[in-house]
Structure formats: C-alpha cells, structure tokens
Amino acid sequence: MRWIFFTLIAGNLLLLVVMWQSPSTVSQHATAEAVDVTSGGQRITLLKEANVVLPKRGEAAAGRRHQRCLVLGPYAEAVDARHALARSQTLGLRARVKQTELATGEPTEYWVHVPPRRSRQEARRVLRDLQRRSIDSFIITSDELTNGISLGLFRNRESAEGLVKRVRGFGIQVQIKVVDKMQTEFWFEIPVSPEFGERLRARVMADDRNVSWRMIECEQANR
C-alpha cells in the first residue's frame, strides 16, 4: 500500500509540472503564428525583413526642386509668349507662360526716407516730430525699411534733395533711395524631357525673333 501512495504523489507532481509549462508553450506558438499573417493568399513581409530602403522626405523634395526647364524668350509682350504656348498645346505639350520683373538701372523715382529705427516706439517719436513740423510722412511697415519713415517719392532728384536738406536742418537723419525702372519680360517655359527635342522646339519657336532657348532650374512643377 505504501508504494501506491508514493506513486500517486509522484503522478500529481508530474501533472503540476506539465500544467505549469503549458501557458508558455501556447504563448510562443501563438506568437509564431501571429507573424505569419496572410492577406489575399500572400504573406505580409515586414519592412525590416524585406531590407527595403525608403527615400527620405528631404531627398524626394530635393529631386523635385532640381528639375530642369527650358524657357523661350524674352518676349516683350504677353500675347507673343501666349502664341508660343498655343503652338505647344496643339502638339500635346504641357507648358506655361511666366512673367518676370527686371530692374533696368534707369532711375524713375527718388524715395526720401528716415532709416529704420530700433523699435516701432522710436519710429513713432520721429514721426510725431516730423508731423509737428508739417512734413507729410508715415511709418514703413514692411521690407528692409521696416520702422523707417517715408517722406515721399519724387520724379526729379532736385526736389528730393531739397526735402533732405530741409529735414536734416531739424537734426533728423534722412536718406534717398533710388527706385529703378522695372522692365516686364514674358517667357515660355516647359520641363526638360527626352520627347521635347530640337524638332519640337523649332515648331514651338516658329518665326519668333529676338528670342532663344535657355535651360534653367524649374521654380515649380508645371500643371
């Protein structure tokens, strides 16, 4: 009878050991199966398993910024550039007309102004002093002359210099900024592509005179 008693005890201990190890085995089995997920009959592979290198966001943006374009111009009139655009559209090409403003170096106006002050409060003090002396003026709120004070634009330099002399007599620093005449140009622009060769460029250019093809960096993708 004693050996039956010990056999029962040994059997109970063995059962406890098996039950103790069972959750770990089931958990490992479930984990192994969870990785092997299928979708539509195909196994989904994790990116780290597939060894795929994705492009960085900055690299993709740099690629778009460095796209090259061909431009035809300059055209003095917008209508002439639009004629080139119309010819390109009949050829199934996507392009656009862009407008640029260039300084000619020829002065058109003379801007009398007080240089920018260190703060808006200081600019207001100078403005009150000028207005008290009956000098029309206002605070500049944008561009490189922010917190400066505008005293007016003049067509001839003599009038501008006369005001400068008067204001300096009050002990206020003042300067003249020459405003150049701007010239408007129009350009036909199209992204560089193998399909847009010399033959198509000649058809777009047609008989237009005083214009030529140039390659530049595109400002943005054509739509």
Confidence at residue 181, expressed as pLDDT on a 0 to 100 scale = 82
Whichever domain contains 108, its CATH number is 3.30.70.1070
| Out of 5-14, 119-128, 137-146, least confident range | 5-14
pLDDT-above-90 percentage for the chain = 58
Confidence at residue 32, expressed as pLDDT on a 0 to 100 scale = 40
Confidence at residue 67, expressed as pLDDT on a 0 to 100 scale = 85
Q: What is the pTM of this model?
A: 0.46
Average pLDDT, the chain: 79
Q: How far apart are CA 214 and CA 76, in angstroms?
A: 17
**Is 138 or 58 the better-scoring residue by pLDDT?**
138
Q: How far apart are CA 46 and CA 108, in angstroms?
A: 66
Q: 198-205 vs 78-90: helix axis angle to the nearest 10?
A: 140
What confidence tens digit (pLDDT) does each residue in 56-100 have? 555 545 545 568 999 999 999 999 999 999 999 999 999 999 999
143: in domain = yes
Q: Say whether both 117 and 213 belong to one domain.
A: no
Q: How far apart are CA 30 and CA 19, in angstroms?
A: 17
126: in domain = yes
Q: Is the pLDDT of residue 43 over 60?
A: no
Q: Say whether both 195 and 138 belong to one domain.
A: no
Q: Say whether both 188 and 96 belong to one domain.
A: yes
Q: How many of the other CB atoms lie within 10 Å of CB of 104? A: 10
